[in-house]
Structure 1
Amino acid sequence: MLKRVIFCFVLVGLLIPSYLMAGSVTARGQAAIVNNDKAMARDKAIEDALRRAVEQVVGTMVSSESKTKDFQLIEDNIYTHSKGYVESYKIVSEKVEDNVYIVDIQADVSSGKIEGKLKAIGIALSRKGKPRVMFLISEQNVGQENPSYWWGTTASVSDIGIVENTMINIFQKNGFTVIDRQAVSGKIKVKDAYRVASLSSDAAKSIANQTDAQIVIFGQAIAKSLGNQPIGTSPDSPKYPTASANMSVRALNTDNGEIIATATGEHVYPHPSEISAGNNALKMAAEKVSNQLIDGIMEKWNQELSGGQMVSIDITGVDDPGFLSEFKNFLTQQVRGVQGVQIRKFKKPDASLDIDYKGKGQDLGLELSGKKIGKSVLEVTDMQQNSVKIKVTKGGK
């Protein structure tokens, strides 16, 4: 009975996403009629229309720059297999003009399948420089009085919980590079104030910045007992110990502290063993949250790749507010990819700016290195994915 119940849950979970992720688009396909073979031309026109329908959906997910740079990769993996991404289609109209067969179709294209393939071939991930990821997840299973987390006093650095292990596996399968915290444990010094299960953004950023992680994923996972619950709907259904797991996590850029994505999830799982019920509930919740978080990260990255991202610039050596005005004009007028500049704060001799930039922080840093603003020279002292640090020197020295 339990297997049947679980199977039904799994089956429903498999059926719903395909339905929800299909989007309807219209497209036109054309093919020349050769040797008066209209049937062949019609088939090719339909194939052309299906490809164009898929191209439309890809266009909403990938920046034009990425489509150009990764054309062959997208061509080989998606466009040449267009039929596989179309759930269904119907011919709206068809006609022949100047010996060309023309077909208009309405197609339901699976954006979920396309997104999965884009993840698999690492388009957005590659464009973002494949940033390294670190996990800071506290975990509390059924029967545990307190949560366990390696940066505290209740677990060692070698302990990897069910949730963290599940998330690591899913992120690695999606092309992410995950920091091995056991390998870097000697570098990490945790402040007493940060030895808590519920980390603040500043605390997570502080811990992760002691490694070379560009993204830190932090949060909590808690499994609680629901007691014995029936696993079926009939009056004589057996009752099993049941656990409910809840998770809440955030992904944060370690260089500028920006929240990239958030995710929450829960899962209920029955099992003859209460501990196993908790283990499985935590694992299933972690799978849901991981996929949700990856979707959020990819959505954010695709927006940045097609538009711009926020790059923070911290400057030292500024002795005059007038320099900031000159620097702002220089950025907006002479640096390619800069779409906007906001002076966030200035307290002599330091200043901070937020740059709306189409590119990575490293690209901006390379562009600014050695540039002159009046009699001042920009010396780039640090470049990260989303931040640049600059020292201003006078007279070229």
Structure 2
Amino acid sequence: MARSLKLTAVSLLLASVAFAAAPPPATVVKEVTGEAAIVDDNRDKAFADAKAAALREAVEQVAGVLVSSDTLTANSQLIHDRILTHSAGYVRTHEVLERKEEGGVAKVRVRAEVGTAQLDKDLQAVRALIGRLGNSRLLIVLQEQAITPDKVITSSSVLTQVLTEAFRNDGWRIIDPSFAAGKLEVAPGVSFITPNAKVIQELKVADYIVTGTVTFRHEKSSRDGDALSAHLKDLYLVSGTWELAVFATDSGTQIARVADAFDSGPESRGSNYPNISYERTSFEIARHRGKKILGDVRKAVIDHLSQAEQNGTQVVMKVHGLRDYNAVKTFKTVLTRALTGVSEVKQGHFAKEEIQFDLRYQGSTETLAETLGEKAFQKKLAEAFGGKAPPKASVTGVTSNTVELTLAP
């Protein structure tokens, strides 16, 4: 079966440096074996799946050589989603060397010739995503509550703690939720209400926000006191729901929604260990289900980053010093025509020499700020304003999704 491909940004960087000095061969030949279980006596499908598994293994081995042999598991799902699911596209030719069946399992051995050019290019793109993902700042703001068998409602922080630890171990920069105090609020005991997009955008301390509601219901045991020790596993049962959403602060838009219902069964807890307290049961449920939440959030962010790579990210540009509406129109023209990577420039309300532009930019706000401060942009700005006392642009503020510009004579 295919091994888990494990990658790190560091190992990818080292590998790229190495291959800069010694480019990989155009093709690499691998002999590998794939396996698949025979289900409902469907041998044709099993052998087809086994061959596909073998081709994935061949691509995976070549990819492992291209990037690093010393790896971690954190990015295996990203590689699988972006590359290994399309592994057939990297295989130039292949030959089936052996087909056999053992103990209800179909096995296929192939010799595959894997092209390295496109594979290496795609791996570099994944490396860029990993680099951007590793710098992402995450804010977790959940409204959690626990309801006792007597219907007493208390506050909880079980899922928040589990997710904070899981995302931190995954390489995220976790932001203290106190930064959202008074701005982002979720009402307890109700369905998730989507915050206003502008509220999300104003939380500049984070790149992404996970927010929503969580309810743990403590259920009364059906066992009597005489059977406590014998039936401990049936005590301290917990059920409940959570409804979470993931937002990108650059645009204030929701990029994912995660809703789930759970109980105290092994499917929810991931084990058959006895329940020793309501808190422990809740923790086991949160830890087990939290893995899926982490994966869902990570995928949503990766998709958001991928789209940003292709279409650009939304940036809010606040401009001070445009004296009249003609100056506003002229400056908008400069943004649209003079800046590489800028598109979809929309202007907002103009008053007291201040205006906000919403634009899409292929790059970071830091790069945009540097471009605005360069002589080339200043020259184009002067030309657009006719060269008569042209305004000089000074960048006076930068966040992950905003740039503030002040124009002065």
Taking structure 1 as the reference length, the TM-score comes to 0.59
Which residue identity lines up with residue 178 of structure 1 in the other structure?
Answer: I
Distance 2:347 2:202 in 1: 27
1:278-297 CA distances to partner (integer Å, 9 max, x unpaired)? Answer: 33333334332222112111
Q: Paired residue for 1:338?
A: 342
Distance in 2 between residues matched to 1:332 and 1:344, nearest whole Å:
15
SS at 2:307 equivalent: helix
Work out the CA distance in 2 between the residues paired with 1:304 and 1:56. 28
CA shift for structure 1 position 180: 4.4
2:328 to 319, 324, 329: 324
Which of the numbers 165, 171, 178 marks the counterpart of 1:175? 171
- Which of the residues 155, 158, 167 maps onto 1:162? 158
Distance 1:260 1:289 in 2: 14
User: Unpaired segments of 5 or more residues in structure 2?
Assistant: 5-25, 33-50, 97-110, 115-121, 224-230, 266-274
Counterpart of 2:47? Answer: none
The equivalent position to 2:301 in structure 1, one of 297, 300, 304, is 297
Query: Quick check: 1:387 aligned with 2:402?
Result: yes
Cα root mean square deviation, aligned: 5.1
What corresponds to 1:22 in structure 2? none
Give me the whole-angstrom Cα distance separating, in 2, the residues matched to 1:91 and 1:122: 24
Distance in 2 separating the partners of 1:118 and 1:147 = 49
Which amino acid in the other structure matches residue 239 of structure 2?
S
2:206 aligns with 213
Q: Secondary structure at the match of 2:400?
A: coil
Superposed CA deviations along residues 80-114 of structure 1, whole A, max 9, x for unmatched, are: x999958998998669xxxxxxx8789xxxxxxxx
CA gap 1:131/1:85 in 2 versus in 1, 3 angstroms: closer
Partner of 1:248: 243
Shift in Å, 1:348: 4.4
What pairs up with 1:259-338 in 2 under 5 angstroms?
259-270=254-265, 271=275, 273-338=277-342
| SS of residue matched to 1:137 | strand
Q: Distance in 2 between matches of 1:310 and 1:208?
A: 14
Give the share of equivalent positions with the same residue, in percent: 17
- Give the TM-score normalised by the residue count of structure 2: 0.57
User: CA 1:170–1:93 in 2, change beyond 3 Å: closer, same or farther?
Assistant: closer
User: CA offsets per residue over residues 307-333 of structure 1, 9 Å max, x none?
Assistant: 311112122333322223222222222
Alignment length, in residue pairs? 304
Please give the secondary structure, in 2, of the residue aligned with 1:218.
strand
Q: Deviations over 1:139-169 (max 9, x none)?
A: 11242734537xxxxxxxxxxx221111112
Give the gaps of 5 or more residues in structure 1: 1-14, 19-28, 32-40, 59-70, 96-102, 107-114, 150-160, 231-235
Q: Which of 152, 167, 180 in structure 2 is aligned with 1:145? A: 152
The alpha carbon displacement at 1:200 in A equals 5.8
Rounded to whole Å, the distance in 1 between the matches of 2:165 and 2:354 is: 42
What is the CA–CA distance in structure 2 between the aligned matches of 1:313 and 1:227, rounded to whole Å? 56
Give distance in 2, aligned partners of 1:322 and 1:141.
59
